[in-house]
Amino acid sequence: MGTAVVSVLALSSGTAGAADPPGTVEVNRVPALEPAIRVVDASPYGVLYKAGPRNAFAGRTITWLKPTGRPAYEISSDFRALRGDKVYAPGGRYLVIGRTQEQRCAPDLAPLEPWTSPDAAYTSFGWIASGGRRIHVSADGCRVGGTGPEIQDSQLLASDDQGYVLRGGTDNELVELEYHSYADPGTAVRIQDGGRNRFPQGIDLEGDQVSWASYESTEPVPHTSYVVRSTTTGGPARVTRIEQVVRTTAINGAGTGWAGCDDSVTEDRCSAGSISASGVVTELKDSESIGVHDQQYVVDVYGRSPGLDAMAVVGDGLPRTRLVTVGLLPPKSIGVSLGGGFVAYRDNQGTLYQALQRRKVVETSGGLVLGPQRSAGDVAPIEAAQGSAGTAYVEPVPGGDLWLWKSDGTRTRVYANQSSADKVVGPLQLSGHRLLWIKGLLTDQMCGPWGCEGIYDDHRMMVYDLRTGTNTEIGPLGLNARVALSGDRLVHTDSTWRILQRDLRTGTVSELRGAGEPVRSLDLEGSVIGFSTCTTNDWGGCGDTTLVVRDLATAAAPVERAASGVSSVRVSAGQLVYSTLAAMGSGAELHVWRPGSPDAVRTIGPMAGWGVFDAADGKAAWIGPDEVVRLAPLPA
């Protein structure tokens, strides 16, 4: 029975990706975060590992495959086992090392997925499936290579190309291990455990050798483990006490590797190590995972050069060979704003929360060139505004003041948040000598065991004049209303989704659009307004959308275009830049529409999350799928 190619795996690089438009530069791919590295699996053909920030919410964790003698490359994050020359993912998907195409077997040939040991069914030939079938997979496809007795997925603990280990006995805590060979599956060999079979963890099976870890039975919260090395032929077990909560074991000839973390203490205490044939234990502090590749242990290491090292014996101060350098990781980007010859962005450089950075943008004959990165430090989770006057941002609580970080580096406090009666809630927009911001007035409190938190549901539009240093209240703004500023014009929606225009010089208000479908996003550049309407779909996003562009300085009718899934719009250089999200979890895309052009819509590229971006001065800045900010000229 054959397989079908389901996708092409993209190679990863440190430069702008192949999907990015011409002239793209990466803004904040800088070494910033200490990684967490985990050896997922290893074989003579390579190493499978993951690398991501230590804080799981601080960025993206990537799965990498490092073939023997070749550079590592990124693969889909659900690949979780490496056996021989194949990498496996759930549902019968696999990748043969040396190929770039993922393959899939028919659903009836899918592997068993034991809930206690999800990867126990995978072997170098393929996997064990239902009905006792052994599925052999290769670049040519899938086939049934043999059959044996039915194996219950609740019993399967480990397998290799010669046989498998089952959970025996009736005790769920003290587990009897039994071995069955494919040659004689009806014969169960009781694996000797030396009395250490309490909740066996990290089982490794290599031919006639098997290893696992068992926790100390006298400890209510485990701090100690016993690593057991035994045989599948009924021979005696060798038990070694390890002062660690061991979760992984790895057989390397006569030696046994181990790794784990004691996360019951305030600071996780992690280490890896090896046990020699004579029982000598060595330990490498701070490593968290281990595998075996090319007759050497592979461990994650940190310090000045994080990566993967190969070691004959795992221990502090012992010889090692570098396999992969991971290094410090780029930050996770959260927001971006563009304008006035600068790109400003929020990310987690140097903080677990949000810090504001800025770089000057210079257009040259060779493309866009970025100046050095400057930082304003930690900021509140409100999108900054970038314009010719500088960068507007809100400092984090308990301050909450609104600041203007000028282009020359000096700072001016725009609004001092002196009491809990009000707060700056955003959005912020800069245009010329004006800064638009939204003040929220306290309307209620939400209280719980943690205390009380204010609710600020009465919003007021405020405009700060940089020339006079004064704030002026313009009027109320609904909670879900949209608002935009450009020059002397301020436009916003009301409760019926009318779009109103206010002349800030005279105070005159006029109606630009009558009541109608909800307005999802709104932007204004000069006299050109762009917005999108939204019909909410079943998961809360936008379904059917109408994009609208209108020049308020002329009597020309609005130009409209049908779209779908639009989440945000920006107007720049007569074009409407917009992001779309087709379905929950599908990934956003960035597009640009030039009304009246024969080639009206072009796709700029994929984006992270909900599609955060900005556009100004004929350029777009967005957060790519790898959570790095990108900047590019809009298509001509």
Per-residue pLDDT at 357: 97
Q: How many CB atoms lie within 10 A of CB 547?
A: 22
CA distance 211 to 193: 10
In-domain check, residue 180: no
**Is there a single domain that holds both residue 410 and residue 390?**
yes
**Is there a single domain that holds both residue 361 and residue 402?**
no
φ/ψ region of 565 (left if φ > 0, alpha if ψ in -120 to 50, else beta) reads left
Three-class SS state of 403 = strand
Beta strands (DSSP E) in 264-401 are: 269-275, 281-285, 290-293, 296-301, 307-311, 321-325, 333-339, 342-347, 355-364, 367-370, 374-378, 385-387, 390-394
Q: How big is the CA angle at 578 (ends 572 and 581), to the nearest 5 degrees?
A: 165
List phi, psi (to 5°) of 420: -85, 5
**Is there a single domain that holds both residue 521 and residue 489?**
no
Burial class from Cβ neighbours inside 10 Å (0-12, 13-18, 19+) for residue 98 reads exposed
**Is there a single domain that holds both residue 389 and residue 497?**
yes
Per-residue pLDDT at 9: 36
Q: How many CB atoms lie within 10 A of CB 521?
A: 21
In-domain check, residue 491: yes
**Is there a single domain that holds both residue 453 and residue 501?**
yes
Positions in the chain whose pLDDT score sits under 70: 1-18, 264-268, 350, 352, 584-585, 598
**Is there a single domain that holds both residue 488 and residue 592?**
no
**Is there a single domain that holds both residue 531 and residue 550?**
yes
In-domain check, residue 51: no
Indicate the residue among 482, 510, 538 that finishes a domain.
510
In-domain check, residue 635: yes
Number of domains in the chain: 2
Per-residue pLDDT at 538: 72
In-domain check, residue 14: no
Burial class from Cβ neighbours inside 10 Å (0-12, 13-18, 19+) for residue 163 reads buried
Indicate the residue among 510, 531, 559 that finishes a domain.
510
CA distance 560 to 548: 5
CA distance 272 to 259: 4
**Is there a single domain that holds both residue 473 and residue 450?**
yes
Beta strands (DSSP E) in 22-132 are: 25-26, 35-43, 46-53, 62-67, 73-75, 81-83, 86-89, 93-96, 101-104, 126-128
> Maximum distance among all alpha carbons in the chain?
94
In-domain check, residue 385: yes
> Whose CA is closest to 602, among 587, 586, 624, 580?
580
**Is there a single domain that holds both residue 444 and residue 561?**
no
In-domain check, residue 38: no
Per-residue pLDDT at 549: 96
Q: How far is CA 292 from CA 11, 118, 177, 252, 635, in A?
A: 25, 20, 23, 6, 50
- DSSP 8-state class, residue 232: T
Per-residue pLDDT at 171: 77
State which H helix or E strand residue 588 sits in: strand 588-593
Per-residue pLDDT at 604: 94
CA dihedral 240, 241, 243, 248 (to 10 degrees): 50
- Please give the structure tokens belonging to residue 178: 């039994």
> Whose CA is closest to 414, among 399, 435, 398, 433?
435
Range of the domain at 334: 330-374+517-636
In-domain check, residue 248: no
- The edge-to-edge listing of strands for the beta sheet with 629-633 is 25-26, 629-633, 619-623, 613-616
- In single-letter form, the type of residue at position 32 comes to A
Q: How far apart are the first and last CA of the chain?
A: 50
**Is there a single domain that holds both residue 621 and residue 528?**
yes
Q: How many residues are recorded in the chain?
A: 636
Map tokens 């990124």 to a residue.
74
Three-class SS state of 512 = strand
| CATH number for position 464 | 2.130.10.10
> Whose CA is closest to 260, among 300, 285, 288?
288
Per-residue pLDDT at 537: 76
Three-class SS state of 131 = helix
**Is there a single domain that holds both residue 354 and residue 416?**
no
Indicate the residue among 483, 510, 537 that finishes a domain.
510
**Is there a single domain that holds both residue 452 and residue 409?**
yes
Question: Residues with Cβ < 8 Å from 301, sequence gap 6 or more?
Answer: 37, 284, 286, 287, 307, 308, 309, 320
Per-residue pLDDT at 1: 43
> Whose CA is closest to 384, among 411, 408, 351?
411
Contact 633, 23 (CB under 8 A): yes
Per-residue pLDDT at 582: 78
